[in-house]
Amino acid sequence: MIPFVDLKAQYATIKDEINVAIQGVLDSCQFTLGSEVAAFEQEFAAYCQSAHGVGVNTGTSALHLALLAAGVGPGDEVITVPFTFVATVAAIYYTGAKTVFVDIDPRSFTMDVNAIEAAVTKRTKAIIPVHLYGHPADMDPILEISRKHGLIVVEDAAQAHGAEYKGRRTGSMGDMACFSFYPGKNLGAYGEGGMVVTNSAEYNRTIRMLRDWGAEKKYQHVLKGYNYRMEGIQGAVLRVKLRHLEAWTKARRAAAARYDELLAGSRFVTPRAMPGTRHVYHVYAVRSAKRGELQAALQARDIQTGIHYPIPVHLLPAYSDLGYKAGQFPHSERAANEVLSLPLYAEIPDAHIKAVAAELTNSVAQLA
């Protein structure tokens, strides 16, 4: 069997460090927030070239609180892309604001910067570029448009730990950036986790309060807040894992380069990193009009693949109330029909990459 990801393979390489870190939390009994979370906040913010980090319980909560801190609420509009995980849009919905979609650029799978201005209205308050698959969105034009219209930029960096755009890390460019530490992410907790990073002392202060019942000090509730705290064990695990992240990112990039090499000249459209970016390959997605047949052929050979994501959010039943119809975002819709994510993780054996590439090439030849 060739798995899509193998979390056990990674745990085996860091078992001793992780076990010591978890034991430390058990000994201290700092199960929620505490010194390990505080240290991880500082270390991860520094890794993102940003001043502050606020640890929370999920990436979705990070997005929710970033939008609230930006003052987004009922009557406001937030611009994002439909080709993303549903959480981006759910977080906007939680604030009471309305989601306004713009299509993606089909080469990078990130926001089409030429489509943004037409979507800006008097009600637009914020914009959420999604660094999908670990590839940064084209931030310079996004920041320029947001400055021109007075919009707040919240990066959805849930899939893009350590990705870079013109030498800047994801998390350092927008007003705020939100990360997920879901276990399968490039930096994954042993449970759930998320973080907002920001250079703004004001956003930092507000989000710190919002994640912990809106309290400035215990029982002094200044804001209507939430129970979105990060757990102590996750902080301790993530601190250990952060020390390995650069090596894992290098390994992911090397695995992606192997796929590129082995699939060169085949009928697949392989992912493309735009000039000046460092793609961190959370997902390595090829495109094919025969995606369904290919996935079935690989499955028959015990090769696991994924689809990120089969239905763009504007066509999901849950968000039909936004009033969008099929055909409105053709690049997102086509990508949703064509993308196929191949097995890729830092520890993937080269033999697996070769077997996947060979099987794909073989299956596509048979389907032709």
Ligand X SMILES: Cc1ncc(COP(=O)(O)O)c(C=O)c1O
Q: Would you tell me which residues interact with ligand X (CB under 6 A)?
A: 58-60, 84-85, 87-88, 130, 156, 158-159, 180, 182, 192, 194
Tell me how far, at minimum, the Cβ of 178 lies from ligand X, in Å: 7
CB-wise, 59 or 171, nearer to ligand X? 59
Tell me how far, at minimum, the Cβ of 131 lies from ligand X, in Å: 8
CB-wise, 167 or 184, nearer to ligand X? 184
Tell me how far, at minimum, the Cβ of 90 lies from ligand X, in Å: 8
CB-wise, 65 or 360, nearer to ligand X? 65
Tell me how far, at minimum, the Cβ of 209 lies from ligand X, in Å: 20
Tell me how far, at minimum, the Cβ of 59 lies from ligand X, in Å: 3
Residue number, nearest CB to ligand X: 59
CB-wise, 258 or 282, nearer to ligand X? 282
Q: What contacts 265, CB < 8 A, 6 or more positions away?
A: none
Secondary structure (H, E, C), the chain: CECCCCHHHHHHHHHHHHHHHHHHHHHHCCCECCHHHHHHHHHHHHHCCCCEEEEECCHHHHHHHHHHHCCCCCCCEEEECCCCCCHHHHHHHHHCCEEEECCECCCCCCECHHHHHHHCCCCEEEECCECHHHCCCCHHHHHHHHHHHCCEEEEECCCCCCCEECCEECCCCCCEEEEECCCCCCCCCCCCCEEEEECCHHHHHHHHHHCECCEEECCEECCCCCECECEHHHHHHHHHHHCCHHHHHHHHHHHHHHHHHHHCCCCCECCCCCCCEECCCCCCEEECCCHHHHHHHHHHCCECCECCCCCCHHHCHHHHHHCCCCCCCHHHHHHHHHEEECCCCCCCCHHHHHHHHHHHHHHHHHHC
Tell me how far, at minimum, the Cβ of 69 lies from ligand X, in Å: 17
Tell me how far, at minimum, the Cβ of 217 lies from ligand X, in Å: 28
Tell me how far, at minimum, the Cβ of 116 lies from ligand X, in Å: 18
CB-wise, 110 or 146, nearer to ligand X? 110
CB-wise, 45 or 364, nearer to ligand X? 45
CB-wise, 189 or 294, nearer to ligand X? 189
CB-wise, 59 or 225, nearer to ligand X? 59
Buried/exposed 12-21: b ≥16 CB within 10 Å, e otherwise:
eeeeeebeeb
